[in-house]
Structure 1
């Protein structure tokens, strides 16, 4: 189909608890590659499922011209599923086998369509993705998260769909796989909608559509253009907020002056009436008129104050979504010549060519750990954290270290952020800890919730707080893919937080744009010939 379209007409989504996630969305998605962005929890995935026809809207209508193929954010590797099931080609492959054997069933030819070379194309795509060892019947359970994602994406590319909808497709993909995906998307000939926080991926889109509480808003161009327009909007909104506050202050001052003038007039009227020895009935009428006038003025003032407050609230809503981070630095965060050393260390679980590493880490050194999936990045961080032992060699860590794994497994989902923090920071007053959490972006309403109910970004902030605000604060921070599952504003806030951290930092990530935002000093690269430390 040369002009595929997905059309939303007044679409709303109401959750089972009765709350409205989004309402009255009207938009058209056409052949232009489009990135869908928005805060975590705003409903991007539910909107994608509505567009794909997997969920009906609570109100409104979604129409589709052509076939739609949807790849979810989490690819299931449940028992019994195979590689062919992950790629959604099992039904077509079985139909091809029956046709070839002369035992075709009704519907087999329709299932195959014009994909007579599907088996060959599927195998070629597996080879191109470096997964040539797999075949359609390989159990999905033996695949890593990155491999399962690549297989699901292969299914999308061999589907011949008129429209692809991909939900966070670069999560779990290493650098080479991300670059390969970007290249494939550049050559995809049909409609494309990508939900992502990957700025490199979004820069390849023809437009960005943002989902927020106020609805959908379209921005022409890729992420760079979108970021520029958002910065201009924030600056304009900040100016409007400041102007609204000035107007409110000026208005309240005028209201006070007006009330004081009326009070003085009433006082003079009372004194004049008493001095003129007027009759009581006249004095009562004057008093009644004064009270009526005073009540009217009070109502006018109340209405004017509400208008001034409403203008400020309206201006504030335009900027309140921005995440502001203030990192409280412990006083003991002084520089140290060496914080950690690895001397001829052999990492476990890796082939001999990739396991040996030598590293001397200084007190203010900031290192990005990069390499393909399975190259040992997580193992290296765990070894520095003391969670695994080297096969041979010497490991020394001279300062308190904190390791934040991809699942933040050290956070008990039943306990709140403040409970976790109080356990490691008993020498600091609870009021102070609450202030520091608020400065880190966790407000009072959230810090008391069980960590299992927090978003990924909120849990990451809680983990950072426990590492940095403990009685013995971490002077070596080890982070494993901290940007996974964060929305764009949370990513930028995390970048700002880590840039202000004055200790030593090792962060493993496949997101080059995220790493570029951390003011790193070095790159520790895992290669087939071993580990290489290079200037960033």
Structure 2
């Protein structure tokens, strides 16, 4: 039996705006667990969709041997969806129910296939993954972002596919569940491609394939091996480029000197001929030979210089384009020490009893990380502070001068361009200034002129951040829910630097300890089985 495999054959993709995203891709994926990495906007998600058969390349072909299950980076579901629908088994359960009610329709038996025990298998996997409080009929709206992702991952494992393609599967997962995901994927016996910026997850892969401006490049090892090999490659490429430039300069100087020597010889010959009173016919012959020799030398030098320029160009093409990412510091009208938020006896909706009640006072310069397991109410707390949900009881007062970034990027209209939305948020800055700020985020003129819904996950996050952070009125309170999800390392580092310099109040939800450690936090709001408690952090200054 043929082993499952996916093969890219000269694949290219041109976007609707005419921009070529990638071209001439050749690669084979087999049973080796593979991480697909690359900068934001390079086309990882679109390539994953091509591999899964959900998108056709502009040219080329993707050959598939075996079935493929693709899990998108954003778990999107209808308002009335259930856990079974998130897991992708609702149609099977519906067919089972009809058969149990007496249906003999062939399509129902086809829908069930060999999955007669799908419901107990779902219950078993929910229990194994610490989600025993859920069942097939639980509304998806009652799940946290992390719980929704975990249910979707369970559905991927239950799919029986020959290949799993998972796009940023560790987003929204807390530390224990990230580790559980890694162990779960280690046990997966068939083909696996993981699109991710999560270094811990990528460490568990046996191969890394990078998509960059240079195309696809396979590295036979985990993330550490890839990072070391990548650094070595870049060092060598830069060194080769420097050598080619130096050789061009050296050769150009040598050619100038050679030409100068020839011109001096010709001048001496001309003077000698005149002084010797040679016949005009002899002088004309010497002149023609001299001009022919000079022309041949110039043609030879021109060809040689063209070759040297081509050598430099070829060497430059081997150096990956890595434009720096930058976020501007946020001006805050007043670094106030007054209260910017007050929660008094608040009860959160959709949250378990232990962490339902909370009282909290936030001053103008506090920097708080909200940490806790998936489903404890972290995102619900931020949504309530942002005025998106109403508390069941108590009083919640928050300064109107706040900015809120949710996991679904609801502040971004997918039908409108990034530039259009940023201009609506900031009517005082010039368009040139706004374009410059977006360009420094890696959003070029073409990307900011297309509907934001067509951008990559990382690009949409950058756009949403820009619309919030670069608004006319700088926020005195930032409410950020997993703000570094989907970001590549340079972009995450730029966000860290901006948030470190921010002088207002900050409340951030994240499961990324390294990210939180770089924000200069003053407090940690911890959710556990005892409820909520605020713990001051010792300053590192």
TM-score (structure 1 length as normaliser):
0.76
Distance 1:337 1:141 in 2: 37
1:356 Cα shift?
A: 1.6
- 1:251 equivalenced with 2:251 (yes/no): yes
Distance 1:278 1:456 in 2: 82
- 1:8 equivalenced with 2:7 (yes/no): yes
Please tell me whether the aligned partners of residues 6 and 63 of structure 1 are also in contact (alpha carbons under 8 angstroms). Answer: yes
Distance 1:103 1:447 in 2: 53
| Residue aligning to 2:532 | 530
1:508 Cα shift?
A: 2.6
Give me the CA root mean square deviation. 4.7
Distance 1:68 1:446 in 2: 30
Distance 1:327 1:227 in 2: 25
1:379 to 1:97, Cα distance in 2 relative to 1, 3 A: closer
What does residue range 16-415 of structure 1 map to in structure 2 within 5 Å? Answer: 19=20, 21-30=22-31, 32-54=32-54, 58-60=59-61, 62-64=63-65, 66-78=66-78, 82-97=82-97, 100=100, 103-106=103-106, 112=112, 114-129=114-129, 135-137=135-137, 146-175=146-175, 177-276=177-276, 278-325=278-325, 338=337, 342=341, 345=344, 349-350=348-349, 353-360=356-363, 362=365, 367-372=368-373, 377=378, 392=395, 404-406=405-407, 407=409, 409=411, 413-414=416-417
Equivalent residue pairs, number: 526
1:469 to 1:155, Cα distance in 2 relative to 1, 3 A: closer
SS at match of 1:254: helix
TM-score (structure 2 length as normaliser):
0.76
Distance 1:335 1:72 in 2: 42
Output one character per residue of 1:315-369: Cα deviation in whole Å (capped at 9) or x when no partner: 3333343242456668x8999795866566566755674432234564xx75533
1:395 Cα shift?
A: 6.1
1:456 to 1:303, Cα distance in 2 relative to 1, 3 A: farther
Distance 2:501 2:302 in 1: 45
Output one character per residue of 1:4-59: Cα deviation in whole Å (capped at 9) or x when no partner: 421416252444757473434131321x3222222344443344344434456643
Please tell me whether the aligned partners of residues 340 and 363 of structure 2 are also in contact (alpha carbons under 8 angstroms). Answer: yes
Please tell me whether the aligned partners of residues 95 and 109 of structure 1 are also in contact (alpha carbons under 8 angstroms). Answer: yes
Unpaired stretches in structure 1, ≥5 consecutive residues: none
Distance 1:238 1:417 in 2: 39
Please tell me whether the aligned partners of residues 27 and 216 of structure 1 are also in contact (alpha carbons under 8 angstroms). Answer: no
1:10 to 1:379, Cα distance in 2 relative to 1, 3 A: closer
Unpaired stretches in structure 2, ≥5 consecutive residues: none
| Residue aligning to 1:486 | 487
1:169 Cα shift?
A: 1.9
SS at match of 2:484: coil
